[in-house]
A and B are shown apart, each in its own frame.
Chain A
Amino acid sequence: MVKEIERAGLPVVHICTVVPISLTVGANRIVPAIAIPYPLGNPELPREEEKALRRRLVEKALRALETPVDGQHVFED
């Protein structure tokens, strides 16, 4: 899906837990996520801390969308 969205001309960032799969399917902007059942959360954290964690990931994704890349790039910290 991510590749066809990019092929259509829309920049896309893939927030995903299993980065090797994302690399294999051909995502270009990749943000590693937390865990498979909660890629953008952590149920062990208090609600506000969990949301702050999620916000950091989304902000990283937005920065990825603002960053020129010339191939596949995994946006670590």
Chain B
Amino acid sequence: MAQSKLRVVHYLNQFFGQIGGEEKANVPPEAREGVVGPGMGLKTALGAEAEIVGTVICGDSYFGENMAEATGKVLELIKGFEPDVVVAGPAFNAGRYGTACGAVCQAVVRELGIPAVTAMFPENPGVDMYKKDVYILPTADSAAGMRKALPKLAAFALRLGRGDSIGAPEEEGYIPRGVRRNLLAEKAGAARAVEMLVAKLRGEPFATELPMPRFDRVAPCPPVPDMAKATIALVTSGGIVPKGNPDHIESSSASKFGKYSLAGLDDFTAEAHQTAHGGYEPTYANADADRVLPLDVMRDLEREGRIGKLYDYWYSTVGNGTSVANAARYGAAIAQELKADGVTAVILTST
């Protein structure tokens, strides 16, 4: 018995959807029957097994400025085509487009329960935002990579549409999502570790089972020349905030940092201060936040002239599951403010 073709819906922005360039970036979502633009190439790559039944197009700015509403509308239009699988992009290094592709795929999977895949340049911000939830295939940074990207997208979409189980990212070619899956290995962990070590010692290739995130390095700044004239700022990832946590800094995966006045304050107290951190036992910090951020001692040292001045504000966020990218962003923003205010050096405490 002949099987019916898989139904594919394709999501595009206004540019690839052939509505127009930046001047048309505000067009709201619309649906077309069949293929549009790069959908032609996708159709060819999909072959006889699948059919692009419809294309949904939305302007990048419209999407970016009305994400919740746009996602909802796009979802309705996609749903109307009753797809088996949804393909978005490729978005290459277009940030708003990549974000839209990620958001659309995430919503399709979560709310419609339909598999979805997109493709974009690995540094597209849409990757960091959605790679945990969405299959994203890496592409070149410009549409020059279209011819290479479409066959990969098509092959992946066919597998999703068929309901194939998707393997590890290095086998399947998508950007790692950080998902760990239990599997039964032939050899015990100790044996595998020793094999890796032996291979490493022999200079042979080996693959770690737990890649560590990569970190870059910054050269140390020169020391503070005259501490008695220096303004020192207190910063913490330990979540010390005024009682009640007025900025609602999250107890994990903090989405922000807070800046709070130290004017007239000599000591943190249980009545007025607390920690917002959800990753350590808060009893001791809530009883006396100086145990995390040493305000009392800094005031003593200021009075004694050991330091010139304690900066008038403290900065705080919660370093608990907070992404490296976010933490870096907070650090850079805090540093700019401190420099603008003439701060000499920083004491940063972490729990």
Interface range, B side: 35 or more
Number of residues of chain A lying within 8 A (CB) of chain B: 52
- B71 close to A (CB within 8 Å): no
From residue A24, how far is it (CB to closest CB) to chain B in Å?
Answer: 6
Complex CA–CA separation, A44 to B300 (angstroms): 23
Q: Which residue, B219, B335, B344, has most C-beta atoms of chain A within 10 A?
A: B335
- Given known A-B contacts A54-B291, A62-B301, A43 and B284 have beta carbons under 8 A apart: yes
Chain B residues with CB under 8 Å of A15's CB are: 347-350
Interface assignment of A70: CB less than 8 Å from any CB of chain B: yes
Q: Which residue of A1, A41, A69, A71 contacts B284 across the interface (Cβ within 8 Å)?
A: A41
Task: Add 13 more A-B contacts to A5-B338, A5-B346 (CB < 8 A).
Answer: A8-B336, A11-B221, A26-B216, A28-B218, A28-B221, A37-B291, A40-B291, A50-B291, A54-B290, A55-B297, A62-B227, A65-B232, A71-B220
Q: Report B300-344 residues with CB < 8 Å from chain A CB.
A: 300-301, 306-307, 317, 319, 324, 327-332, 334-336, 338-339, 343-344
B215 to A24, Cβ gap below 8 A? Answer: yes
Using a CB–CB cutoff of 8 Å, the interface residues on chain A facing chain B are 1-18, 21-22, 24-29, 33, 36-41, 43, 50-51, 54-55, 57-59, 61-62, 65-73
Instruction: Specify which of B221, B331, B347 is in contact with A61 (CB 8 Å cutoff).
Output: B347
Whether the Cβ atoms of A40 and B285 lie closer than 8 Å is: no
* Inter-chain contact B224/A51, CB cutoff 8 Å: no
A71 to chain B, nearest CB (A): 7
Residues of B within 8 A of A8 (CB): 332, 335-336, 339
Interchain CB contact under 8 A, B294 and A54: yes
Residues of chain B within 8 A of A72, CB atoms compared = 220
Docked Cα-Cα span, A1 to B207, in Å, equals 30
- Asked whether B139 is an interface residue with its Cβ less than 8 Å from the other chain, the reply is no
Known contacts: A1-B331, A28-B218, A54-B291. The answer to whether A9 contacts B348 by CB under 8 A is no
Q: A22 to B297, Cβ gap below 8 A?
A: no
Q: B44 in the interface, Cβ–Cβ < 8 Å?
A: no
A residues within 8 A CB of B293?
40
Interfacial chain A residues near B346, Cβ < 8 Å: 5, 10-13
What A residues does B232 contact at CB under 8 A?
Answer: 62, 65
- Complex alpha-carbon distance, A6 and B291, angstroms: 24
Say yes or no: A68 contacts B290, CB within 8 Å: no
A5 to B351 CA separation, bound complex (whole angstroms):
18
Q: Are B348 and A1 in contact (CB under 8 A)?
A: yes
